[in-house]
Amino acid sequence: MAAFASSLPLHHRWLRWPWPALGLWLSAGVALRLLVAQGAPALPCVIGLSGLCAVMAWRASTPWRRGLAAAGFPASVLASGMLGDVPAVGWLLPLGLLLLAYPLRSWSDAPIYPTPREALSALPGSLHLPTTARILDAGCGMGHGLRAWHRLYPQARIEGVEWSPLWSTVARLCCPWAQVRRGDLWADDWSALDVVYVFQRPESMPRVWEKAQREMKRGATLVSLAFEVPGVPTAALFETVPGRAVHIYRMPGRPRSGLKSASSSADMQNTKTSAPCEGSTPSTATSQDRTPIPCS
């Protein structure tokens, strides 16, 4: 099945999500109309075409996308009333919940996918922050990343921004010590932050880097879980959860008058090429260095 699915064009680089899924649902809908117009019984056609959609959805890049691509066609048939009347609430409710959890704007970035509990645990060995540091989880979902940062830097001011009304409410309730807002991560100003943490998707990383370079102060830190900024050397890199490497970037930025150089506020230690700072916890995982950074 995987071999068949891989020959299908659902994951073509010219077809940006969600267009492949919309194309799939539309094609299945047209095929159903044609078959029924030829006298084929509706229910077996719906079942067969839904199965075909599920096979094609196999090629989508994440579990969420696979689920959405597979479920869209049967959901649209139910909604159309073709198989009998489904009470409006039967499809409006799941659709409403889906839109609350995964609103349209976040379709071009990552859907909800929590930071694993131990993924960031080696950070204090690489990243030294003052107690007053401001840390933003850009796209904070249900707050797993917020909690991971709070455990590691309990004195820091932890902030989160999340586009989904549902997840931003959950994060606010689960992390009362954090400042959680509902908003668009791209609309935020990152200039006063010491750390921006992202767990988005590979395609978002060039835009994240562009924004970080434009807005973040010198010496501030960009931390990305799982996805690297293409072509940009990390200041440190470790992986405590398989497949969830932590990429750490130090912002060169332009010095600004009146702003203290942040190199004194966010000192990064490279665990591969330099000895651990006294009192710090050395990273237990692999670390790559391209820019040696002195311990404070």
Ligand X SMILES: C[S@@+](CC[C@H](N)C(=O)[O-])C[C@H]1O[C@@H](n2cnc3c(N)ncnc32)[C@H](O)[C@@H]1O
Asked whether position 8 contacts ligand X by CB under 6 A, the answer is no
* C-alpha triplet 131, 280, 126: angle, nearest 5°: 80
Antiparallel, parallel or unpaired: β 246-250 and 221-225? antiparallel
Q: Which is nearer to ligand X, 110 or 196 (CB)?
A: 110
Q: Counting contacts by CB under 6 A, is residue 159 touching ligand X?
A: no
Return the number of the residue (36 or 186) whose C-beta is nearest ligand X.
186
Q: How far is the CB of 88 from ligand X (least distance, A)?
A: 27
221 binds ligand X (CB under 6 A): no
Q: Segment near ligand X (CB under 6 A), from 5-13, 103-111, 216-224, 283-291?
A: 103-111
Interface segment toward ligand X; rule CB under 6 A; list 30-38, 71-79, 180-188, 210-218: 180-188
CB of 118 to ligand X, least distance (A): 13
**Which residue, 202 or 292, is less far from ligand X as judged by CB?**
202
Please report whether residue 110 would count as binding ligand X according to CB under 6 A. Answer: yes
Kindly state whether residue 105 participates in binding ligand X, applying the rule CB under 6 A: yes
Give the amino acid at 90: G
Q: CA distances (Å), 101 to each of 108, 145, 176, in order?
A: 14, 17, 20
Report if residue 25 touches ligand X, rule: CB under 6 A. Answer: no
Nearest CB to ligand X, comparing residues 91 and 186:
186
Binding of ligand X by 64 (CB under 6 A): no
Closer CB to ligand X, 147 or 289, in the complex: 147
Interface residues for ligand X in 123-152 (CB under 6 A)?
A: 137, 139-141, 144-145
Is residue 121 near ligand X by the rule CB under 6 A?
no
186 binds ligand X (CB under 6 A): yes
We find the least distance from the C-beta atom of residue 279 to ligand X, in angstroms, to be 28
Is position 16 an interface residue for ligand X (rule: CB under 6 A)? no
Cα 68 to Cα 71: distance, rounded to the nearest angstrom: 5
Phi, psi of 63 (to 5 degrees): -55, -40
CB nearer ligand X, residue 162 or residue 194 = 162
Binding site residues, ligand X, CB under 6 A: 105-106, 109-115, 137, 139-141, 144-145, 161-164, 167, 184-186, 199-200
